Amino acid sequence: MEKLQQNIEIGLIGGTGSDIALNNLKEIKVYTPFGSPSSTISIGDFKGKNVAYIPRHGQGHIIPPHNINFRANIWALKELGVKFLISPSAVGSLKKEHTKGKFILVDQYIDRTKKREDTFYEGGQLCHISQVNPYCEYLNDIFYQAGKESKLTIQKGGIYVCIEGPRFSTRAESKMFRRWEGDIVGMTTYPEVVLAAEKEICYCCIAMVTDLDVWAGKCPNCGIVEYALRCYKCGSVVDELSVNVPEVLETMTQNAENLKKLLELALEKLDTRRDCSCHHSLKDALL
């Protein structure tokens, strides 16, 4: 493995479709106070920018979401010098208008996780990090413009309900998340987003809709409706829809090229010399 470098400005945590082509590719192993990251980190050049890539679930997708060492991943990327972090995430839709293949640039989350280590500050010095605006507006703007230029179905802003996993939601939970005005449900943005803030890193979550979760049913007359035995509009029998792994993987594979296109165009636009309020998130947060 190569020695640790500290001039990598862009980090990418992802999986299917987020493995953009990097030149001068090298593998680096980073040791952290929190154990091993998900994998060795690939570093390389992308149009004059230094990029570090780590597969969130490890090589071969073997780490379930509740066992990801989020602290080690974020600490390692910060150690490499990362200032801008992009995190693609497969999600289920909680609204009819968020159809399969749509990209949503998340701006808020609701944390429904239970067992995850979600801070670097466990004693000694205390940190109460602000999460009023958890995601980087600058990165969201760049990706939104890139998505529009690429003629992709993309939305700026949306609420991500992050569940513990690895199980999918019950129908009762899925319907509850809709009543909370959630847009999407997934298993990975938390605690990545808050740990990035504690390391003063700009963080962007590109959520890709892969399914309609389990709140949805299909009426022969009215189309997609919230599941009940009979449609609340016309009274017809409603077929239940359920999310499963093959459906998620199929949608991700089909949309991988769009994600790659989005990442490459946005990274080309990203100004790594730009200062951002995210780079000062510890100001007034430490005791």
Residue tagged active-site, from 45, 183, 213, 239: 213
Q: What HEC string does 29-45 produce?
A: CCCECCECCCCCEEEEE
**CA atoms in the 13 A half-sphere facing the CB of 233:** 12
Peptide bond into 65 cis (omega under 30): no
Q: Is residue 3 part of a domain?
A: no
Torsion, Cα 73 75 77 80, to 10 degrees, reads -140
Structural domain count, the chain: 1
- b/e per residue 26-48 (b: at least 16 CB within 10 A): eebebebebeebbbbbbbbebee
Q: Is residue 285 part of a domain?
A: no
pLDDT of the residue at 18: 67
Nearest residue to 217 (alpha-carbon basis) of 242, 246, 247:
242
pLDDT of the residue at 5: 60
Give the mean pLDDT per block of 10 residues along the chain (287 residues): 70 76 89 95 90 92 94 97 96 95 97 96 92 98 97 97 96 97 97 98 97 93 93 93 86 88 93 96 94
pLDDT of the residue at 1: 42
Q: Which structural domain range is residue 86 located in? A: 10-280
Positive or negative, the CA dihedral 194, 164, 111, 187 is: positive
Q: Is residue 2 part of a domain?
A: no
Q: Is residue 105 part of a domain?
A: yes
Indicate which CATH number applies to the domain containing 121. Answer: 3.40.50.1580
Number of neighbours of residue 253 by Cβ within 10 angstroms: 12
H-type alpha helices, the chain: 70-79, 137-149, 171-179, 189-198, 245-269
Kindly report the pTM of this predicted structure. Answer: 0.94
Nearest residue to 266 (alpha-carbon basis) of 87, 149, 150, 142:
142
Residue tagged active-site, from 211, 239, 271, 275: 211
Check if the beta carbon of residue 106 is closer than 8 Å to that of residue 32. no
Q: Is residue 286 part of a domain?
A: no
Q: Is residue 152 part of a domain?
A: yes
213 belongs to the catalytic site? yes
Q: Is residue 175 part of a domain?
A: yes
CA angle 120, 122, 127 (to 5 degrees): 70
Alpha-carbon gap, residue 83 to 272, rounded angstroms: 8
Q: Is residue 159 part of a domain?
A: yes
275 belongs to the catalytic site? no
pLDDT of the residue at 29: 93
H-type alpha helices, 82-229: 137-149, 171-179, 189-198
Chain Cα centroid distance, residue 149: 22
Residue indicated by tokens 């230029």: 149
